[in-house]
Amino acid sequence: MVFEFSPKRYRVLEGDASTRLVSEDDDIVEEIKSAILSKIVLVAGKDVKCANVHDWYIAAALTLRDRIVYQWLQSDRAAQSRGDKRVYYLSLEFLIGRLLTDALTNMSLMGPFRTAIEDLGIDFDALRDVEPDAALGNGGLGRLAACFMESMATLAIPAQGYGIRYEHGLFRQIVSNGWQEEFPERWLLSGNPWEFERSDVVFDIQFGGRVDRIEQAGKPSRTLWIPAETIQAVAYDTPIIGWRGRHVNALRLWSARAVDPMRLDAFNSGDHLGAMSEMARAQAISKFLYPSDETPAGRELRLRQEYFFVSASLQDILDRHLHIDGDIRSLSSHAAIQLNDTHPSLAVPELMRLLVDKYQIGWDDAWDITTKTISYTNHTLLPEALETWPVELFERMLPRHLDIIYRINVDHLAAAERHFGVDSRSRASVSLIDETAGRRVRMGQLAFVGSHRINGVSAMHSELMRETVFADLNSLYPGRITNKTNGITFRRWLHQCNPKLTSLLQGACGAAVVDEPERLRGLERLSDDRAFQQRFQVVKRANKVALAQTIASQLGIIVDPSALFDVQIKRIHEYKRQLLNAIETVALYQAILANPEGNWTPRIKIFAGKAAASYRQAKLIIKFINDIGNVINNDPAIRDLLKVVFIPNYNVSAAEIIVPASDLSEQISTAGMEASGTGNMKLALNGAITMGTLDGANIEILEHVGEDNIFIFGMKADEVVRRRAMGLDATDVISSSPKLAGVIEAIERGVFSPDDVSRFVPIAHALRFLDYYLVSADFEDYYRAQRAVDMKWHSPEWTRSSILNVARMAWFSSDRTIREYAEDIWNIPQ
């Protein structure tokens, strides 16, 4: 017989003398302890008494991985036996963060593992913190890819992610004297227990050389690419676990190596470094994420990276398909290839090359297979993100692909001429080759033409795609553009990073809320309940105390958890307008000094984010934030009413501490420039109220949470266009805003840079005369909205709105997004 006691299960043991109940969890804990101890000895090769905390982490991770592998293999076998269509998600970034707690949460093993580890005398939290963040992404693009991979596993959609196994990934940010400095991120320094090296999965990747035409009697001529360089791509697989551990997919990352590790003749002749130059050149491909493209060598490396991972991935996809199905022509029925932004756009000509050159498929048939298989997600309307490459570089590095792109363009422009007639402007705008400033290959247009579906990532962004950057392509290929508003995985961004709130929500909405986020709606009836509001406030304060302790230990800055935590966490870019937040901070500082006895709301301004290594203005903004913080934080006249904190080296693990502690979420991009955003969703889900422009997914958040539970300011996208058309000079708005004028004057006088009065002159100049991002133009409305925040903070309405934000965020689950992709783009019924 079996007794059921929630939350544990028990079994009855029959003994000679008595009957007793034993928890099955007790057996699991003992099994885990035994396995971990075995790993310490057999993997670390150490006596248990000599093991350090990193050894214990590796042992725990490998013990958990053993449990995952069986489900992984079962998931793959089941999908193959059913003949399921498989999704292949190509992304240059996967910001997966730490995997131990993520895997434990999804496998429902957090309790037993924590107990086992602590029974062994090891601090679980210390062990967890030993794991480095997997430095495989920069920001929202990479984090979205990670959320999508988890949701595909949760929904049991057979899928495989493809990217690059960066040895160092994005740089590690150190802030020294207020300046950003970049250092290699050494996340692989002590090994990675989650990955499996697939030494049998190796593909040749080729560059350079020439293209020859081979005439065949009675047959069409063939094209032969004779490359000048060959390197190899080696596969490394990491399991991605779905919720409750029911399905496991793989993230396959490629590492680059030379065909031969060294030239032995050169080594023996004494040229020891030169002997390894080919290996160094090959390994550079998988060394860093986003190497600087300011030099010709940097641009070449970026193109090599993009082709490297695209070619390896497509060769792998086709090999797998032929192994399972045997007919290359059925590819689109069994595979869906999703391009995550423009970086994998080379998949279009590479798939054509493989189909035409390797598998001898006719051009028209190959094009039909390619366009039916590939789809493309556009993440931005910014011109610099819609990559273009010089034709000369393409011709030198990928001559066969340039040849294919020219052929695609011939057919494409013929269709354009039939559609637009002799309208040369329209034909030029849709061409795959930009002729305006030196001949360049347009990767966004290439991905569009080679895909059967192109999606934006918020309703506004998708509409702007139709109206602006892809307007003519949309006219030529109507119906291809669709919208798929981004989402986030609640397992990571609620259950895992905010367990106290999750527990509160389960008590209020039922335990099933962790499986059915729609149940969050049940919170609405409690939003005015004073007792529930107090419990909600206790959870928020506990999270703020934890963040305050982190800030104190890392930066030596003491912040009051009872103050309003005003948070802007995202990569540093002018369009995201950290500068607007910073100058409003200065204006508030000046207002407090002018009226020290006013009823001011104590506020902690928290910034975090990295600027691209070559982005000088963004790095200057980081310095400006740190310098104003240095002045404000040390001014006794402020009496701790205002503090400024810049948390360095922002990553997933840092976000998991900051997000649950946030009161106000700054989503203040220039309208029309943010495609979607996902930080806005994470923060709102954890009870932060959004301060935002009508941009990206802010619009949909407004629709869901209601206008009383969000702060909206600033120009709309169409107003931004009209303002820019009038010019970038902001003298008119500055002259009408004494607050803004006072801020700029303080910057120019060197109030925040007494050691170098001219340091922030470029910022002041941009605010006055080059207001492309409408920082000055939106300042007054932003300042007004911030004072509305102050008023609401002092009333019970703040907590009510915070609760309603949580209650109304269920729609922003990445599970919903992936279901839409599956049904509307990948043709996988849900």
Respond yes or no: is residue 678 known to be catalytic. Answer: yes
Q: How far apart are CA 435 and CA 441, in angstroms?
A: 9
Q: How far apart are CA 356 and CA 358, in angstroms?
A: 6
- Is residue 570 annotated as part of the catalytic site, yes or no? yes
Does residue 247 contact residue 159 with C-beta atoms inside 8 Å? no
Q: Are 443 and 379 in contact (CB under 8 A)?
A: no
Q: What is the crossing angle of helices 110-119 and 53-82, to 10°? A: 150
Cα distances (Å, whole numbers) of residue 171 to 29, 137, 309, 612, 698? 39, 10, 20, 9, 29
The answer to whether 576 is a known catalytic residue is yes
List 39, 577, 619, 682, catalytic entry: 682
State the Cα–Cα distance between residues 817 and 678, nearest whole angstrom. Answer: 12
Question: What are the CA-CA distances from residue 281 to residues 117, 256, 395, 686 (Å)?
Answer: 43, 9, 20, 45
Asked whether the beta carbons of 646 and 175 are under 8 A apart, the reply is yes
Catalytic-role residue among 172, 247, 379, 442: 379
Q: Is cis: bond before 349, omega within 30 of 0?
A: no
Short-list 485, 489, 387, 500, CA closest to 445: 387
C-alpha–C-alpha distance, residues 278 and 207, integer Å: 13
Structure tokens at 529: 């309940």
Strands 433-434 and 172-176, bridge-based pairing: unpaired
Residue 233 contacts residue 312 (beta carbons within 8 Å): yes
Cβ neighbours of residue 156 closer than 8 Å, sequence gap 6 or more: 75, 242, 246, 247
Q: Contact 826/372 with Cβ under 8 angstroms?
A: no
The single-letter DSSP state of residue 822 is: H
CA 508 to CA 525: how far, in whole Å? 10
Instruction: With beta carbons less than 8 A apart as the criterion, state whether 114 and 64 touch.
Output: no
Q: Which of 489, 678, 693, 817 is catalytic?
A: 678
Q: Do 455 and 484 meet the contact criterion of CB atoms below 8 Å apart?
A: yes
Using alpha carbons only, what angle is made at residue 277 by residues 271 and 278, rounded to the nearest 5 degrees? 130
Residue 258 in tokens: 């030379």
Instruction: Find the distance separating the first CA and the last CA of the chain, reported in whole Å.
Output: 38
For 358, counting Cβ atoms within 10 Å of its Cβ (0-12 exposed, 13-18 middle, 19+ buried), the class is: exposed
Find, among 161, 29, 175, 173, the residue nearest to 94 by Cα. Answer: 161
Helix extents (H) in 634-693: 652-661, 679-685
Q: Which of 98, 440, 570, 643 is catalytic?
A: 570
Please pick, among 168, 466, 576, 577, the residue that the annotation labels catalytic: 576
- On whether the CB atoms of residues 694 and 677 are closer than 8 A, the answer is no
Pairing of strands 335-340, 374-377: parallel
Element (H, E) at 30: helix 24-42
Judged by DSSP in three states, 529 sits in: coil
Is 682 a residue of the active site? yes
Taking the C-alpha atoms of residue 57 and residue 59, their distance in angstroms, rounded to an integer, is: 5
Quickly count: other Cβ atoms within 10 Å of residue 511's Cβ: 12
Cis peptide leading into residue 7 (ω within 30°)? yes
Report the distance separating Cα 760 and Cα 619, nearest Å: 11
Residues that are catalytic: 379, 570-571, 576, 678, 682
